[in-house]
């Protein structure tokens, strides 16, 4: 009887361990690809193992391929954050993806277009000139009395 219970417990434990094992592996990555496995986004490396719930961020101009244990490949496009599903999309899993804004600051994504274009800075400069002119021209504080 004890042997049956021990075998049943070991089988249950083995099932739990395999469920906690990898859901997908990074087969390839182009450009800037990062993963958040609980605390913060960090750069990925080819062959990195992902668990269900990990979030993979692919920056603008990049791409990544996740390979699931059943051999199913899923391509993630640039400018997205995708949560790794428990099972592959070939087995009925659904990808939960969010698009990133195109105006990422250059210190986060140097490949993305600048958040503020030349015309924006020209307007800011013109506004500064107008304000400067008003301040300089409006400071005529000449209250002197002529003889």
Q: Where are the domains of the chain?
A: 22-100
DSSP state of 116: S
Sign of the alpha-carbon dihedral angle for 114, 120, 125, 131: negative
Q: Cα angle vertex 21, ends 16, 26, to 5°? A: 165
The pTM of the full predicted model, rounded to 2 decimals, is 0.56
- Rounded Cα distance between 85 and 56, Å, is 11
Instruction: Please report, in tens digits, the pLDDT of each residue of the chain (147 residues total).
Output: 444 334 444 434 333 333 445 589 999 999 999 999 988 999 999 899 999 999 999 999 999 999 999 999 999 999 999 999 999 999 998 988 988 876 555 555 555 455 455 566 566 777 777 777 666 665 555 565 666
The whole-angstrom separation of Cα 58 and Cα 43 is 10
């Amino acid at each position: 009887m004890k042997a049956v219970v021990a075998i049943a417990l070991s089988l249950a434990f083995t099932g739990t361990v395999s469920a906690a094992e990898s859901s997908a592996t990074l087969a390839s990555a182009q450009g800037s690809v990062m993963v958040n496995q609980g605390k913060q986004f960090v750069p990925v490396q080819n062959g990195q193992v992902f668990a269900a719930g990990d979030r993979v961020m692919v920056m603008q101009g990049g791409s990544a391929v996740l390979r699931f244990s059943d051999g199913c490949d899923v391509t993630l496009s640039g400018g997205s954050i995708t949560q790794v599903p428990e099972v592959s999309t070939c087995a009925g899993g659904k990808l939960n993806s969010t698009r990133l804004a195109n105006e990422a600051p250059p210190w986060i994504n140097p490949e993305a277009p600048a958040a503020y274009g030349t015309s924006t800075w020209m307007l800011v400069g013109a506004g500064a000139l107008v304000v400067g002119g008003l301040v300089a021209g409006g400071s005529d504080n000449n209250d002197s009395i002529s003889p």
